[in-house]
Structure 1
Amino acid sequence: MTGYQELGRHTAPLLVFGILSLPVAAEAPTLGLPLECTLGVDCHIQQYVDRDPGPGVQDFACGNLANDGHKGTDFAISTLADMGRGVPVVAAAPGIVRGVRDGMPDIDATDPGAPDLTNRECGNGVAISHGDDWETQYCHLRNASVRVQQGQKVEAGEPLGLVGMSGLATFPHVHFSVRKGRAVIDPFQPDMSATCGLETIPDLWQEAATYRPGGLLQIGVLDRVPDYSEVKDGLPGVDLPNTAPSALVVWGFVFGGDVDDEIELSLAGPGGALGSNVDTLEKRQPFLYRAWGKKAPKAGFPPGAYRAEVVHRRGGEVLDHRMVEFELN
């Protein structure tokens, strides 16, 4: 459509992962989610246990949603705003609290002001014994949120604290570890010698969790290209001025990006499609965002209904698709 100028695409830097050394867990406990959320809606799994014994990575589904040597499952929330609102971390199974730590700040571990994390990589955390050498551990809880004490009996679903970013963490999440004695156990495939794959895998969960190798965390529309820090902090879905916007920019916040993944951003208005842009990733990125848009024509954007869409594709298949609708007067 004539009259619209394409804005340059914007690429955000890579977020750094924390690498943790944490616990595992005779009869195996049956586990509920370790935080109060709905997977795929307001939380997601950012990393699984790394099952590759060498320098490579492999999650239980034969994917690469792990970090080398990662010994737990990272249940993440999307933004710092979500963390500020407070997301409870809960006991995945009944047991006795074996140990706790609190009082460490919520700060990106790569920040120059971050504290010394020697032997405190877990940050604020709780460890629970479930008997017969089975144990679960919950790391990176929010400062001053831990609400249980050593020796306390807890039931499944009982609040332990809030999701935070303490210790060796660069995004808000709870690193959930299961172990039996000193052995790491993957709750999605407890037999650590088993071949990876999604076919008839016996796991420790009360309810099956759909495997998502990547996807969209948030999308939105602005009248400018946002800073990456704003995206990580948390932006509204639609944040446009009351007066006629000088541009319409759609942005998408993505997790689990892989080489050759496609991120497509598009806009449509009352007259039909305004345009689209497809960006192909050149490297793996645990987090990234993309933004693209159109400058307003001289007469301004016509009033009416608009739609912004973001699609994440891998190998030609859609991993995730989200849409925001809005009106311009």
Structure 2
Amino acid sequence: MRRPLGALLLSLVTAPAVASDFTLQWPLDCRLGETCHIQQYVDHVPGPGSQDYQCQGLSYSGHKGTDIALPYLSDMQVGVKVRAAAPGIVQGVRNTMPDAYSTAENAELLQGRECGNGVVLRHEGGWETQYCHMRQGSVRVQKGQRVAAGTALGEVGLSGKTQFPHLHLSLRQNGTVIDPFAPEGRQACNSTADPDAPNPASLWADPIEYQPGGFLGAGFAAHVPEFQAIKSGEASGIRLTTKSPALVFWAYAFGGQKGDRIRLTISGPKGVFSVHEITLERDQAQFFRASGKRLRSKSWDYGRYTALAVLLRDDEEIDRIEEVVDLR
């Protein structure tokens, strides 16, 4: 990232932070676990490989921030405000880059501008926050402006090097990357502490529960949808009838790990008629799986159909999501 959007990231593995009263407010107008989720955390492993502060895989090699993602592109288009996580002074802004998925074709154009549209805030005590991938034209602050915690900076976008609409929030102290979830360093990987419990050393003003993966959405369709249609939101809310050529249930999730199992079950007016369990063959940051049946008679039975997706990891249920459709 270029200097105008903040100091260079000088360290990959977060160093212990100096004792401070510095805290962060939640930076998005969204409900965590409902209308947004944390897709990736700071990488705590130097060199190849990656691990988040809970010694799990919600990160990637060299990742220097917290990615708070929206489920669908349509959510971004409605407009989700990005807010200052702490009071400070605007150090730099960028506001002109288009919202577009990063590809091999535009990689050269994004070089040095991977953050996309964004804002850098300087805070007391050598702290600095950086807000990336904001929506083109949405940034509403100017360099030198003093802002309070909660001040609207702009909106979540798809600018820069990204594959999904999200806010990348970086935190630094005196140029060193700090993980706000583990400012004093992560817990030992063989710790007996509850992995789902909030980190007591977190810099967040309100505790944030760790979610190791889960479902972002689900729906019915008359065929297996394209992944891009799911990510955009176009696959949601498709109308089906008793004459639809197939009845397909899809579930969209994040944080998949190799060996995870997704169990998809569909029940109709006469009971369960489809059960399909799929094992992930590799880690996947975002993915979907689908199952169903083709119409083999003149029509589907009239009435309500219920589908359930369950995400299992080492026989432990990570998350579940249910969807219903009435066929008329």
Q: Tell me the TM-score normalized by structure 2.
A: 0.89
What percentage of residue pairs aligned between the two structures are identical?
46
1:97 aligns with 2:90: yes
Counterpart of 1:234 in structure 2 is: 233
Write the distance in 1 (CA, Å) between the matches of 2:237 and 2:173.
Answer: 47
Q: For the Cα contact (< 8 Å) 2:181–2:203, is it kept in 1?
A: yes
SS at match of 2:55: coil
How far apart are 1:324 and its partner, in Å?
A: 0.9
How far apart are 1:139 and its partner, in Å?
A: 0.3
- Any stretches of 5+ residues in structure 1 without a counterpart? 1-20
Counterpart of 2:114 in structure 1 is: 121
Letter in 2 for 1:264: R
- What CA RMSD, in Å, does the superposition of the two structures yield over aligned residues? 1.9
Counterpart of 2:159 in structure 1 is: 166
Residue-by-residue CA offset, 1:173-212 (whole Å, 9 max, x unaligned): 1100111011110000001375356465310011111111
Counterpart of 2:59 in structure 1 is: 66
How far apart are 1:34 and its partner, in Å?
A: 1.4
- Any stretches of 5+ residues in structure 2 without a counterpart? 1-7
SS at match of 1:49: coil
Write the distance in 1 (CA, Å) between the matches of 2:146 and 2:226.
Answer: 45
Letter in 2 for 1:33: W
Residue-by-residue CA offset, 1:128-176 (whole Å, 9 max, x unaligned): 1111110111001011110000111111111101101111111111100
Q: For the Cα contact (< 8 Å) 1:102–1:143, is it kept in 2?
A: yes
Residue-by-residue CA offset, 1:234-259 (whole Å, 9 max, x unaligned): 13544124562121100011111101
How far apart are 1:304 and its partner, in Å?
A: 1.3
Q: For the Cα contact (< 8 Å) 1:22–1:72, is it kept in 2?
A: no
Q: For the Cα contact (< 8 Å) 1:253–1:287, is it kept in 2?
A: yes
SS at match of 1:244: coil
Counterpart of 2:69 in structure 1 is: 76
SS at match of 2:74: helix
Q: For the Cα contact (< 8 Å) 1:22–1:177, is it kept in 2?
A: no
1:181 aligns with 2:174: yes
How far apart are 1:114 and its partner, in Å?
A: 5.9
Higher-RCO chain (CA-CA 8 Å, sequence separation at least 6): 1
Q: For the Cα contact (< 8 Å) 1:47–1:66, is it kept in 2?
A: yes
Write the distance in 2 (CA, Å) between the matches of 1:41 and 1:50.
Answer: 25
Letter in 1 for 2:32: L
Q: Tell me the TM-score normalized by structure 1.
A: 0.89
Question: Which of 130, 133, 137 is equivalent to 2:130?
Answer: 137
Residues 65-74 or 50-59, more deviating: 50-59
Write the distance in 2 (CA, Å) between the matches of 1:176 and 1:46.
Answer: 12
SS at match of 1:84: helix
Residues 148-157 or 227-236, more deviating: 227-236
Write the distance in 1 (CA, Å) between the matches of 2:210 and 2:103.
Answer: 29
* Structure 1 residues 113 and 57: alpha-carbon distance in aligned structure 2, compared to 1, 3 A threshold: closer
How far apart are 1:327 and its partner, in Å?
A: 1.2
SS at match of 1:139: strand
SS at match of 1:37: coil
* Structure 1 residues 193 and 206: alpha-carbon distance in aligned structure 2, compared to 1, 3 A threshold: closer
